[in-house]
Structure 1
Amino acid sequence: MLEPTRQPGSVSLRGLIPSASFVGCADVTVSSATEHSHHCTPGCLFAALPGTRSHGRDYVKHALLGGAAAILTDRPLADVPLPQCIVPDARQVYGRLCHALYAFPSQRLGVAGVTGTNGKTTTTWIVRSLLESASHPTGVIGTIEYNDGLESQPSTLTTPDALTMARALAAMRERHTGHAAIELSSHALKQGRAAGLSLDVAIVTNITHDHFDYHGTFHDYLRSKARIAGLVKRGGLLVLNADDPNTENILERLDSDVRVCTFGLEMPADIQADAISMSPQGSQFRLTMGAQRIDCVTPLVGRHNISNCLAAAAAAAHFGLSLEEIAHGLAQFGIVPGRLERVDRGQDFQVYVDYAHTDDALRRVISSVRSVTSGRVIVCFGAGGDRDRAKRPLMGRAASIADEVILTSDNPRSENPYHIIDEILSGIPKECCPPTVVIDRRDAIVAAIQRAAPGDAVIIAGKGHEKEQVVGGQSLPLDDVAVCREALMSTLRNMQPHRRVADRSVSR
């Protein structure tokens, strides 16, 4: 866990939330807090918060055993021999408390928060690249890693709980990491995990169908995403995608002291890209920002990634980077693990591993790869079990624009993978070439690569950087990139010599 070496301070809940009600006391002074009863230590405040399936009040006895000294909750608890702080929205207050314990570190950093259905990880990584190429140390909190600028650890959630977030940001301050780029999921925004966070820049990449298993409706999903606008500091910047009409709804939550900047490839916007050309090695485009223009190059492939570059450029400009520094940072950018990541072992066709797990992301990735491919596009993917079922047929329809489709497992969890695939199949138009079904994901990846001919492209979609496949209650080792490498090495050994176009790559 990324933590500062300094201990947190003490916070008066009466001072933090003057409107709060108290039971058994007139105030509560806190120097440590947790929402997990099994993490309680002597003197700690336990936040008994409402959850999706249960309420924290059900775990007060566990908190007492751990030594909890006070309770923060949304309604008075009977027969609890502890001081209680009662507030209507306990999640929001708990988030503010966590950040208050560490002196609100985000107020002393330059922070860019990124939300959206697709592109969050890539955009935060581009923001970090741009700032660091201009000598501004930058931390990242997101789907792949939590990084305070010096130390990195694999992430457990796209957006961590409020206490983990506050500690990580305090660690950045302590290590003189002046900026942070943070992914903010719709779950986190709705659950108050971002409460207490202050953003200099809020970016909304796009908003399309996802997580209806949690949100229930698109309206609730959109409303949850829109909460990011309420986190922007006075004088801060809200960056919206002009090509996505859904992002306009976020303006309703905006403070009048926040500036708005738009980016786009199709519609008129404050930041635009044109003169676009792409190859398997990357993209070139002309970036226009106000009256300024500059030619840019990036190893990222696809129009959706150019869109991500524009969003990140808006944040970088707000933090004071010149257009020349932005162009330099884009050119220096490396790869984002599992985001259209090329796997090259000298074969005469392209192989990409991507995290695309929504219909919109799948469609964008296939279209992007097709634009740099002379042959066929083969896509191999599945859909997660115990997750949004409504998007499965939509993903099937999106995948039908590929030349060949292989359906497989993608974290089936407690569901029967054949049932998941049946729901994907229901969205594939009957006039399309029937997909191949290979339940074992490793075998499916091998099959996709074996079917590729010179000039083709293979996309392995859904898991990206992930290293495990969740089946039942087990997490089994499975790395799409590693499986692709193994399959390519086997394919190369059996390949005719004239098809080995870059033997030097085989030893990578």
Structure 2
Amino acid sequence: MQSLQTLLHKVQVLNTIGSLDVPVESIAFDSRKVQAGVLFVAVRGVQADGHAFITKAAEANAVAIVCEELPVEKNSAVTYIQVKDSAEALGQMASNFYDNPSAKLKLVGVTGTNGKTTSVTLLHKLFRELGYHVGLLSTVQNQINEEIIPSTHTTPDAVTLNELLAKMVKAGCTHCFMEVSSHAMVQHRVVGLTFAGGVFTNITHDHLDYHETFDAYIKAKKSFFDMLPKGAFALVNADDKRGLVMVQNTRASIHEFSLRKATEFKARIIDNTIQGLHLEIDGNEIWCKLIGAFNAYNLLGAYGVAVLLGEDPTETLTVLSALDSAAGRFDYIVSDSQITGIIDYAHTPDALENVLNTIQQIRTPLQKVITIVGCGGNRDAAKRPVMADIACRLSDKVILTSDNPRFEEPQTILADMQKGVKPLDYKKTLSVLDRKEAINTAIMLAEPNDIILVAGKGHETYQEIQGVKYPFDDKQVLQETFQQLGK
């Protein structure tokens, strides 16, 4: 429990009506969770405006209400706080309510289009192996040491985020590695947090359904580095042309990593096979279980973070060499007839191209590549034909199928993807609406030693159709179908 006065520390308050000397038992931005002792914050969301529920919150005995616009009719038993931005205020108050837990950890945020999940997962595993108590906040799952907490968003809402960080502090964690999404930056979910460092992986077209323009998407990512404090570090991928753009206005110390340039953290790929990567990092050769050039960047970034946090370079490389990737990130199984099935979260054009280019690098001349790919509904439609074209260009056979159609008709999504299939590729392209049937078809078409890529869903264990999440695990379905077909 905290006093309202304490919670308003660092919040830009425009007006107050009522007493600030009142106890607050919890914070809510969902009016349905309001009861006596709860502070309600009216946030303007994507789906609804919290200001429409101020009266409901007051009737539910909210102790105070924070809003951008004060209601005409006010409840005398409620304290009203007018602020410039409710979402920003929520982030700062949530941090204050949980006694600023991020300041008691070495909190490192990773942002970019691709590689966020693998990077934070590698860092969590690395620092656990180095003997630390560590927290993880990722798309796949949240963790406090080895305790797994289900994840619903890439970056949780401000209240949940600070609650998790407080639990990490209580559990003795000294470090936390978290994904920072562009949505989280625009929605001010990380306001009030103290970061020890930030990492930029790369940026390509994604989430334009939300940000509308690529420039707005870039600015959202850049705003993370703009907020880093003077004592923090900003580690950026120098091989991405927007790497240094990200840190133009940062107060943090700037560091770079690269596979192509002479930078502070430098790596070279010696060999890239289905067994893993043979790398030279800062003059030291290591073998890693992860596969592909994109994972060389993820490994190098994790190495850079560890060194910047004061870890021994040699010990860090030794531990990194033994680590596995995150679930659903170039995750593969081999069937009895030696067909390799690869499951990957690749759901953007760049990610799909990276994965397929990696497969092209490690395949033998006689191995066919069969790609199963779909696109999510109610998301950026412009990438659909692009992803189909990439799949056709880098595969011997392509099966277009359903991903998470959400509230769109799956056939409409497939029709958008089919626009990217060139006439020369018609013969090698199939459209199979049912995802399970698409996997079944790919396995029937595959011969021993061929490679099947199932792209788009990775770690997800569901398909979202018309607001309902139905159980569906690409890896499980792939394994079961191999067995059923005797392959």
Q: TM-score range by the shorter chain?
A: over 0.9
Give the whole-Å Cα distance in 2 for the aligned partners of 1:453 and 1:267.
Answer: 41
1:138 positional shift: 1.2
Show the counterpart of 1:108: 104
Residue 66 of structure 1 deviates from its aligned partner by: 2.8
Cα distance in 1 for partners of 2:25, 2:149 equals: 26
Name the TM-score, length of structure 1 as normaliser: 0.91
Match of residue 215 from structure 2: 219
Q: Give the corresponding residue for 1:5.
A: none
Report deviation, 1:358.
0.3
| Cα offsets for 1:252-277 (capped at 9, x unmatched) | 3311xx11111121233221211421
Aligned to 1:502: none
Name the CA shift for 1:18/1:398 in 2 (closer, same or farther; >3 Å): closer
Give how far 1:14 is off. 8.0
Partner of 2:423: 430
Q: Which runs of 5+ in 1 are unaligned?
A: 1-7, 496-508
Q: Which portions of structure 1, spanning 4 or more consecutive aligned residues, are displaced by more than 3 angstroms?
A: 8-11, 26-31
Letter in 2 for 1:420: I
Q: Which moved more, 1:186-195 or 1:431-440?
A: 431-440
Task: Give the direction of change, closer, same or farther, for the CA distance of 1:18–1:40 in structure 2 (3 Å limit).
Answer: closer
Deviation at 1:390, TM superposition (A): 1.2
CA distance in structure 1 between the aligned counterparts of 2:158 and 2:2, rounded to whole angstroms: 16
Whole-angstrom distance in 2 between the partners of 1:429 and 1:322: 51
Aligned to 1:460: 454
Which residue pairs with 1:17 in the alignment? 10
How many percent of aligned residue pairs carry the same amino acid? 32
| Range 154-163 or range 427-436, more displaced | 427-436
Which residue number in structure 1 is paired with residue 55 of structure 2? Answer: 61
Residue 466 of structure 2 aligns with an amino acid whose one-letter code is: G
SS at match of 2:256: strand
**Uncovered stretches (5+) of structure 2, i.e. residues with no partner:** none
Q: Cα distance 1:95–1:14, how it changes in 2: closer, same or farther (>3 A)?
A: closer
Change (3 A) 1:10 1:325: farther
Give the conservation status (yes or no) of the 8 Å contact 2:14–2:84.
no
SS at 1:235 equivalent: coil
Letter in 2 for 1:361: A
SS at match of 2:41: strand
TM-score after normalising by structure 2: 0.95
Q: Quote the residue 1:75 is aligned against.
A: 69
Equivalent runs, 1:3-402 vs 2, <5 Å: 8-12=1-5, 16-17=9-10, 19-25=12-18, 27=20, 29=22, 30-81=24-75, 82-255=78-251, 258-288=252-282, 293-374=283-364, 375-400=367-392, 401-402=394-395
Question: Following TM superposition, by how much is the alpha carbon of 1:18 offset from its aligned partner in structure 2, in angstroms?
Answer: 6.5
Among 410, 433, 439, the alignment partner of 1:417 is: 410
Distance 1:14 1:436, change over 3 A: closer
Question: Helix, strand or coil for the counterpart of 1:253?
Answer: coil
Structure 1 position 11, deviation (Å): 4.9
Q: SS in structure 2 opposite 1:168?
A: helix
1:439 aligns with 2:429: no
- Amino acid corresponding to residue 395 of structure 1 in structure 2: M
Deviations 1:94-143 (A, max 9, x none): 10110111111111101111111111100001111221121112111111
Which letter does structure 2 place at the counterpart of 1:419?
T
Helix, strand or coil at the partner of 1:245: coil
Separation (CA, whole Å) in 1 of partners of 2:448 and 2:7: 69
Query: In the alignment, which residue of structure 2 is the partner of 1:505?
Result: none
8 Å CA contact 1:197–1:231 kept in 2: the answer is no
Q: Which whole-Å CA distance do the structure 2 matches of 1:399 and 1:69 have between them?
A: 56
RMSD: 1.7
Is contact 1:276-1:286 (8 Å) kept?
yes
Report the Cα distance in structure 1 between the residues aligned to 2:470 and 2:212, rounded to whole angstroms. Answer: 30
Residues 220, 406 of structure 1: CA spacing in aligned structure 2 closer, same or farther, 3 A cutoff? same
What's the secondary structure of 1:233's corresponding residue?
coil
Post-superposition offset of 1:150: 4.2
